[in-house]
Structure 1
Amino acid sequence: MGADGDERETAQPGVGLTTGEVARRLGVAPTTVRTWDRRYGLGPDLRSDGRHRRWTVVDVARLERMCALTATGLPPAEAARIALGEGPLDTGPAGQAGPAPSRRPARGRTRSGTGLRLGDVRQECKGIARAALRLDGDALDELLTTVIEQYGLVTAWTEVIMPTLQAVGRKWESSGERYVEVEHLLSWHVSGALRRSTRPAAAARPGAATLLACVPGEYHTLPLEVLAAALAERGLPVHMFGGALPVESLIAAVRRTGPAVVGLWAQSRTTASTPLAQHVANLEWGVRGARRKPFVLTLGPGWAGRTVAGVPHPADLAAAVAAVQSQVRA
């Protein structure tokens, strides 16, 4: 048993799932599952060796309903009554108890109960989406850390985190600006998970580091943070300058740090500047007689369709990582 009280053993075939396995499947913290068991009676009847919880398919389905109901904004106690089949009670105009139709979950939800159009994605996407809709920061931290540790940054971003962020973005865009807080919370915790997962890279020396920056007017830093973390994961030193770096500061940073690679991120076509990319590619650094130029990459959807001579535009995160590795290690 770990420090948080979670059962770490793997469930035996035909016996059921452990609390930790159920929590990962649902996208909640193990402590949340145990609280629902203790406080609302949502736990399983089965105990292996009389002590460890073992969750059957029926038990998990009841918890999935609990997750779906709390994601709609229902208080946990009321959601638990519905999940247990007792049904919510409300006082009507005549003072009689009856069902509260306004609080019933909307139809047409995905099987995951998130209300997000996730499509054919990994199971972890549904768990992260549920946690984000509940504004459950603790569960998000645990789920994101687990996904990154299990798959590595590139796969975790491409197949789990990015599809979930896109689904949340579609949700608020189609809901009249609702759920903006969900996207902000999810982005914040993704950024935190990236920082926690990033190990210190080797000391940066001229000609061996990568400089990453958003172009002027661009503040969407999260994809660039992912690239920085993925490079650090591979032991490649990075100078990360974040959002909207002014042109003069970008030029000064290139000349002062002497990077092998410069990555310029633009989310929007209005911020992507072909002359700027070309200018950076022509910058020289180093001592007289041994001048060098950085290898420039244009990153992000803002550069799509814009050709800069001698400046590649990687199609995705994996391609960007490969391009940097090739240049630095050459």
Structure 2
Amino acid sequence: MLPDGPQQRQGGPGSGLPLGEVRQECRGLARAAVRLDSPAMDSLLQQTMQAHGLLIAWEEVMAPTLHAVGRKWESTDDRYVEVEHLLSWHVSTVLRRAAVTAPLVSAHVAPVVLACLPGEQHTLPLEALAAGLAERGLPTRMFGAAVPAEALRAAVGRSGPKAVVLWSQSRSTADNTLARQVASTAFGLKGARTTPLVLLAGPGWSVRAATAGMRRPLGLREALNAISALYAEADAVVAAGETTPGPAAPASTSLC
């Protein structure tokens, strides 16, 4: 499962939210959220990202605050819904900003496709992953919420990704058949076609959902490391090929 972040103990004074033992930045964000203080939220989120990077910001500040707000409105007859909406908007804003402003190591390598399954509207975890990949210089194609099955298959076939991350928040949106179809989507030159690694992300997937060509990461950190390892392996293969003499490739194999 992706991005849920660490679970915190109940009870934390200062904001009216059940925060538990958390970083000071988390308490500050919670207080600003309850006050509906947009400038303070934006400033604190930006400072946290710059000071600690994406992983710490998500796992120890953003996710715990979002969880606390969610627990609050669930236990108080839908109070604090406005807090959750405003906080989510600001978290999304800072994550997207990070994803689009980070410099890429190379714009000419296969991307990572990020998509919510049909009917799935929860995008924040994928936005966190996109920001984390951008921080590592890896290219992404973010397709967002509720991507229709046909559009998802077309996007994978046309972009030729190294990995595809499929987010499902609930069992009702997890689609094992679609995941297998994506995992079997082949692209590339005839005779050297390849398929992407599919990461089944989110609590909607069962523990046995991952089959051949799939993985089920248990958090943002694991997903980032798994994807990064794919690119590291590819770089190692390229480096080995460059140092090993061999016949020149025919001009007809160019991907230009």
Secondary structure class of the residue paired with 1:302: coil
Task: Report the equivalent of 2:252.
Answer: none
Measured in 2, the distance between the counterparts of 1:183 and 1:302 equals 21
- The answer to whether the 8 A contact 1:263-1:298 is kept is yes
- The answer to whether the 8 A contact 1:172-1:180 is kept is yes
Measured in 1, the distance between the counterparts of 2:97 and 2:186 equals 34
Measured in 1, the distance between the counterparts of 2:163 and 2:231 equals 7
Task: Report the equivalent of 1:143.
Answer: 44
Secondary structure class of the residue paired with 1:259: coil
- The answer to whether the 8 A contact 2:106-2:137 is kept is no
Task: Report the equivalent of 2:248.
Answer: none
- The answer to whether the 8 A contact 1:261-1:328 is kept is no
- The answer to whether the 8 A contact 2:12-2:21 is kept is no
For the pair shown, the structure with the greater C-alpha radius of gyration is 1
- The answer to whether the 8 A contact 2:118-2:149 is kept is yes
2:149 partner amino acid: V
1:197–1:308: structure 2 CA closer, same or farther, 3 Å change rule? Answer: closer
Given candidates 228, 236, 242, the residue that maps to 1:325 is 228
Task: Report the equivalent of 1:122.
Answer: 23
- The answer to whether the 8 A contact 1:144-1:193 is kept is yes
Task: Report the equivalent of 1:262.
Answer: 164
Alpha-carbon offset, residue 202 of structure 1? 4.3
Measured in 2, the distance between the counterparts of 1:175 and 1:111 equals 17
Measured in 2, the distance between the counterparts of 1:252 and 1:203 equals 24
Measured in 1, the distance between the counterparts of 2:158 and 2:106 equals 15
Alpha-carbon offset, residue 197 of structure 1? 2.4
What TM-score do you get using the length of structure 2 for normalisation? Answer: 0.83
Secondary structure class of the residue paired with 2:114: strand
- The answer to whether the 8 A contact 1:274-1:306 is kept is no
Given candidates 43, 60, 77, the residue that maps to 1:159 is 60
Q: Percent identity?
A: 55
2:228 partner amino acid: Q
Structure with the bigger RCO (C-alpha within 8 Å, sep 6+) is 2
Alpha-carbon offset, residue 175 of structure 1? 1.1
Task: Report the equivalent of 1:201.
Answer: 104
**What is the correspondence of 1:224-239 to structure 2 with a 5 Å cutoff?**
224-239=126-141
- The answer to whether the 8 A contact 2:95-2:128 is kept is yes
Alpha-carbon offset, residue 216 of structure 1? 0.6
What TM-score do you get using the length of structure 1 for normalisation? Answer: 0.65
- The answer to whether the 8 A contact 1:145-1:197 is kept is no
Measured in 2, the distance between the counterparts of 1:295 and 1:195 equals 24
1:36-82 Cα distance to aligned partner (Å, 9 max, x none): xxxxxxxxxxxxxxxxxxxxxxxxxxxxxxxxxxxxxxxxxxxxxxx
- The answer to whether the 8 A contact 1:212-1:239 is kept is yes
- The answer to whether the 8 A contact 1:204-1:238 is kept is no
- The answer to whether the 8 A contact 2:115-2:166 is kept is yes
1:253-312 Cα distance to aligned partner (Å, 9 max, x none): 111110000000001111011111111111101122221100110011111423221211
Alpha-carbon offset, residue 178 of structure 1? 1.2
In structure 1, list runs of 5 or more residues that go unmatched: 1-108
